[in-house]
Amino acid sequence: MTNRKKTLRPNGPTYAMEKDRGGLVCGVDEVGRGPWAGPVVTAAVILDPDNIPAGLNDSKKLSAKKRETLYPLIMDSAHVGVGMASEQEVDRHNILQATFLAMQRAVENLPVRPNHALVDGNRIPPLSCPASPVIKGDSRSLSIAAASIIAKVKRDFLMRKLAEIYPEYGWERNAGYGTHQHIQALKLVGPSRFHRISFAPIRNLIDQGIDIRD
């Protein structure tokens, strides 16, 4: 009988892809493609391989408290760029192209020019450096995981601020996603200027003659 060694895969993201590319490699990720309101937020992160914060992972797998603990550690130890595309840009370009626009801005906002970008997903935007798509990248690459944390914390903070302007929708809890509270508020008071009018649930309300709030 032939003995075969079982290859063990790491349980979380690693720095292997960054090492393979060499040079300054940034991870790029987005938050906010699905919500009905607010911008798409992206981040680009170049980690210091000698000072990587412990506990980095896909932001969706971390608690809010853990993300907020890691956020300053990443900001203090890595090069970080953040980019956004507004809800108006989402409506103008479509969600994919708006996400690409936000990713371009994040990479451009890095304080140093990367040699390569690892982009979460199966498609990459036009960037000022070579890039590779990485499916489920936030669970595979530490740099992409760090970017997912930065983008998530940034967007959640922004949605909490917008919730102070329009408290009815519960954005401080649902971040603009179509929860029951959000749906009920839309029926009662209509959409706001921060909603994405190209998204079907909002467009349907407007088609019914419901005005957008100032």
Confidence of residue 193 (pLDDT cuts 50, 70, 90): very high
Q: Per-residue pLDDT tens for 68-77?
A: 999 999 999 9
Whole-prediction pTM: 0.93
The pLDDT value recorded for residue 2 is: 47
For residue 35, the SS3 value is coil
Nearest Cα neighbor of 9 from 140, 130, 122 is 140
pLDDT of 7 reads 47
Query: What integer best gives the mean pLDDT of the chain?
Result: 95
Reduce the DSSP state of residue 84 to 3 states and report it: strand
Q: Which one, of 31, 149, 152, lies nearest residue 99 by Cα?
A: 31
Using DSSP, state whether 185 is helix, strand or coil: helix
Distance from C-alpha of 202 to C-alpha of 189, rounded to nearest angstrom: 12
Condensed to tens digits (0 to 9), the pLDDT of residues 65-124 reads 999 999 999 999 999 999 999 999 999 999 999 999 999 999 999 999 999 999 999 999
d(CA 173, CA 46): 30
What pLDDT band is residue 214 in, cutting at 50, 70 and 90? Answer: confident
Could you report the per-residue pLDDT of 23-59, keeping only the tens digit for each? 999 999 999 999 999 999 999 999 999 999 999 999 9
Confidence of residue 10 (pLDDT cuts 50, 70, 90): low
Q: For 131-135, what is the mean pLDDT?
A: 98
Q: Are 146 and 56 in contact, with CB atoms under 8 Å apart?
A: yes
Per-residue pLDDT band for 11 (boundaries 50, 70, 90) equals confident
Query: d(Cα 90, Cα 64) in Å, to the nearest integer?
Result: 26
Distance of CA 167 to the CA centre of its chain: 23
Which residue has 């997912």 as its token pair?
Answer: 148
- Walk me through the domains of the chain, giving residue ranges and CATH numbers: 16-162 (3.30.420.10), 167-207 (no CATH)
Name the band, by pLDDT with cuts 50, 70 and 90, for residue 9.
low
